[in-house]
């Protein structure tokens, strides 16, 4: 790291702080401004902010490890989530905006009734806003510490203070500027982060030691660049490509996208994704923001990381085990000239800060709006709530730093979260479309996966010869959870009729609502179910055909390129027709 690199990094931090300070007065007007940008976000800014949040410092390293172990096909561990993402675009994005709520936890008490609803809202505010949020930020801090240690050669016992400084800057602009500052800096941070990764990929792949894309492909095992996983009962000794049993493949593609809760990929939207949807100007902007998010998240974002990851297999064959993820950091050190190295370090700080900034603001919204304001203090002024929000942002920062000190590894975290949320997703989807779902349904679906996970852990410990492993274990967890919450739903009282009436008039959902449509004949529900299903299918086809197109451009044949390009073009054109058809059916501008 030379003087020019440090100038680039310092300039980045200065610009970030200036943006945050410029929105301070606007964010201080009310909690709606602080947490939802006054519901004035344009679709493109909300969409980019979602993508930037999911581009954390650990993400390129995690993808590098996936590619090193399972080739390009290893990314199907998360590419399968595009199916659920497109469900959010066509069935839920407009409903989140229409609900007119401040957080997705507030939805609980406009949809359910009584003490169970209040308990569920308060419990999830603490569980997600404080505990889960602090763990996620600690995870991201740990990944950033790895990068700082690798780039600067700083002793591990000193890295914590650098992380503290970076997080302090993030907490300052997040607490001062609210969601406006977070989203605007997200957009700038995403551009910097993607530009840095694209430059790195170009330099590494075109270096003489690699010899371009053709040289890279020739130096790798053929299966490394295979985009589809192998489906077989055994791996047959094949390495470098994702090999799944038929059951495992079905779990990923047929179950995970609708059954499992995962931060940022909640079935039907939730968390900070719902926050961005609710912050948009109107329902049209909400729909297009999530569509942009899905396209950028799955199609554009991963390819620079994949190319660097594949190159690292050739450049650093000595890396084994979890150390393979360091190939990305080594490539940064070895291939970037002064100035560019500073740019990419700034890019990683940008990725890190966009994730941390969102989690601070989102977690604070739960603790203030869904806990303190809901249960402890309802008679404060808006400025007092904003002041409490700014203070809570700083407290969350301190909590996450404390968690960081206790973390040693993030291995298995994705699998753990997926399994502990398996089965909850179906409730999150059906609560918008079936009147019989109640608060006890969601409480049961929240608790049961964790209980089954613990039971499986104990059984596997006692009987290791008959171990049930992930992802096959998901079938069992999802099955038990689904049966449990359906039984509990049928044995408990439904949501009070007056709450259901108010919800139906407010959100105007389609689906199964008993006699409510007849009693509210003046309400026109969404309808157009066939068109929405067509849009969902076309959106999934478009996402995967664009993925295939990139793979074909880099490593495929001309025939593969033409077929995937034609499929992408046709599905995109039809998707646009569907969006126009849905758009004409609703007066979005009257719902600002």
Backbone angles phi, psi at 142, to 5 degrees: -65, -40
Please state, in angstroms and rounded to a whole number, the distance separating the CA atoms of residues 266 and 272: 10
Where helices occur in 366-438 by DSSP H, the ranges are 382-406, 413-420, 424-430
Q: pLDDT > 90: what percent of the chain?
A: 38
Place of tokens 């069992």: 476
Backbone angles phi, psi at 105, to 5 degrees: -75, -30
Q: Give residue-wise pLDDT tens across range 230-264.
A: 776 554 444 566 666 676 777 777 777 888 887 77
Backbone angles phi, psi at 236, to 5 degrees: 55, 30
Q: Give residue-wise pLDDT tens across range 181-215.
A: 889 888 888 888 888 889 999 999 998 889 899 89
Confidence of residue 521 (pLDDT cuts 50, 70, 90): confident
Please state, in angstroms and rounded to a whole number, the distance separating the CA atoms of residues 419 and 449: 7
Please state, in angstroms and rounded to a whole number, the distance separating the CA atoms of residues 199 and 509: 46
- Least Cα distance to 195 among 23, 25, 344 occurs for 344
Q: Please, how many CA atoms are within 13 Å of residue 272, restricted to the half-sphere of its CB? A: 30
**Cβ contacts of 215 within 8 Å, gap of 6 or more:** none
Place of tokens 């490539």: 331
- Least Cα distance to 58 among 400, 426, 351, 408 occurs for 351
**The pLDDT of residue 375 is above 70:** yes
* Residues 144 and 348: beta-carbon distance below 8 Å: yes
Give the chain's mean pLDDT. 85
Q: Which residues pair with 244 in a beta bridge?
A: 231
Please state, in angstroms and rounded to a whole number, the distance separating the CA atoms of residues 409 and 62: 13
- Give the pair of three-digit tokens for residue 64: 């590098």
- pTM comes to 0.89
- Give the pair of three-digit tokens for residue 559: 């025939």
Please state, in angstroms and rounded to a whole number, the distance separating the CA atoms of residues 300 and 72: 14
**Cβ contacts of 454 within 8 Å, gap of 6 or more:** none
What average pLDDT does the segment 116-145 reach?
Answer: 87
Amino acid 546: pLDDT? 95
- In order of 199, 345, 458, the CA distances from 339 in angstroms are 12, 10, 53
Please state, in angstroms and rounded to a whole number, the distance separating the CA atoms of residues 419 and 438: 23
Q: Give the chain's length.
A: 592
3-state secondary structure 214-280: HHHHHHCCHHHHCCCCEECCCCCCCCCCCEECHHHHHHHHHHHHHHECCCCCCCCCCHHHHHHHHCE
Amino acid 585: pLDDT? 59
Q: Give residue-wise pLDDT tens across range 309-353.
A: 999 988 998 887 777 888 888 888 888 787 887 888 887 788 888
Q: Give residue-wise pLDDT tens across range 59-68.
A: 888 888 888 8
What average pLDDT does the segment 351-369 reach?
Answer: 89
Q: Give residue-wise pLDDT tens across range 3-58.
A: 888 888 888 888 888 887 888 888 888 888 888 988 999 999 999 999 988 887 77
| C-alpha R_g of the chain | 24
Burial 407-431 (b: 16+ CB within 10 A, else e): eeebeeeeeebbbbbbbbbbbbbbb
Q: Give residue-wise pLDDT tens across range 387-411.
A: 999 999 999 988 888 877 776 655 4
Amino acid 238: pLDDT? 47
Instruction: Choose the weakest-confidence range: 315-324, 506-515, 526-535.
Output: 315-324
* Residues 205 and 311: beta-carbon distance below 8 Å: yes
Termini Cα distance of the chain: 49
Please state, in angstroms and rounded to a whole number, the distance separating the CA atoms of residues 550 and 491: 51
Please state, in angstroms and rounded to a whole number, the distance separating the CA atoms of residues 510 and 497: 17
């Amino acid at each position: 790291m030379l003087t020019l690199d440090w100038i680039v990094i310092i300039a980045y931090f200065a610009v970030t702080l200036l943006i945050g300070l410029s929105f301070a007065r606007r964010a201080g007007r009310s909690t709606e401004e602080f947490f939802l940008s006054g519901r004035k976000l344009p679709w493109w800014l909300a969409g980019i902010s979602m993508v930037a949040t999911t581009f954390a410092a650990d993400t390129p390293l995690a993808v590098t490890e996936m590619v090193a172990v399972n080739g390009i096909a290893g990314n199907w561990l998360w590419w399968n989530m595009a199916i659920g993402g497109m469900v959010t675009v066509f069935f839920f994005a407009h409903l989140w905006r229409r609900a007119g709520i401040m957080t997705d936890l507030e939805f609980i008490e406009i949809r359910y009734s009584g003490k169970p609803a209040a308990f569920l809202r308060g419990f999830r505010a603490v569980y997600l806003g404080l505990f889960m949020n602090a763990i996620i930020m600690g995870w991201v801090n740990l990944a950033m510490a790895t990068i700082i240690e690798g780039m600067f050669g700083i002793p591990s016992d000193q890295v914590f203070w650098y992380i503290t400084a970076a997080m302090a800057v993030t907490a300052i602009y997040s607490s001062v500027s609210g969601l406006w500052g977070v989203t605007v800096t997200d957009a700038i941070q995403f551009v910097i982060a993607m530009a840095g990764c694209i430059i790195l990929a170009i330099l590494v792949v075109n270096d003489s030691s690699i010899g371009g894309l053709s040289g890279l492909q020739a130096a790798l095992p053929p299966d490394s660049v295979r985009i589809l996983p192998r489906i077989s009962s055994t791996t047959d000794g094949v390495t470098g490509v994702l090999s799944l049993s038929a059951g495992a493949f079905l779990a990923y593609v047929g179950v995970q996208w609708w059954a499992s809760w995962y931060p940022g990929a909640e079935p039907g939207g939730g968390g900070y994704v719902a926050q961005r949807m609710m912050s948009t100007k109107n329902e049209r902007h909400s729909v297009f923001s999530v569509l942009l998010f899905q396209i950028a998240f799955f199609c554009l974002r991963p390819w620079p990381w994949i190319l660097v990851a594949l190159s690292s297999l050739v450049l650093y064959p000595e890396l084994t085990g979890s150390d393979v993820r360091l190939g990305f950091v080594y490539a940064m050190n070895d291939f970037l000239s002064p100035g560019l190295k500073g740019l990419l370090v700034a890019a990683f700080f940008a990725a890190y800060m966009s994730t941390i900034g969102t989690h601070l603001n989102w977690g604070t919204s739960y603790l203030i709006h869904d806990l303190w304001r809901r249960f402890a203090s309802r008679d404060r002024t808006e400025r007092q709530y904003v002041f409490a929000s700014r203070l809570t942002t700083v407290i969350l920062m301190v909590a996450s730093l404390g968690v960081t000190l206790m973390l040693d590894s993030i291995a298995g975290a994705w699998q753990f979260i997926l399994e502990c949320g398996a089965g909850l997703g179906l409730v999150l989807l059906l609560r918008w479309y079936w009147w019989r779902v109640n608060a006890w349904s969601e409480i049961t679906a929240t608790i049961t996966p964790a209980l089954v996970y613990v039971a499986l852990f104990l059984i596997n410990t006692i009987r290791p010869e008959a171990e049930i492993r992930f992802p096959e274990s998901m079938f069992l967890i999802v099955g038990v959870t689904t049966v449990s919450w359906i039984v509990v739903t049928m044995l408990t009282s439904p949501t009070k009729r007056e709450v259901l009436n108010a919800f139906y008039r407010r959100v105007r959902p389609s689906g199964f609502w008993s006699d409510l449509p007849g009693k509210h004949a003046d309400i026109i529900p969404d309808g157009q179910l066939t068109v929405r299903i067509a849009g969902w299918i076309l959106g999934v086809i478009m996402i995967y055909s664009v993925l295939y197109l990139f793979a074909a451009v880099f490593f495929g044949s001309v025939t593969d390129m033409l077929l995937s390009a034609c499929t992408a073009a046709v599905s995109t054109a039809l998707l646009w027709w569907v969006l126009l058809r849905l758009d004409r059916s609703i007066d979005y501008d009257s719902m600002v």
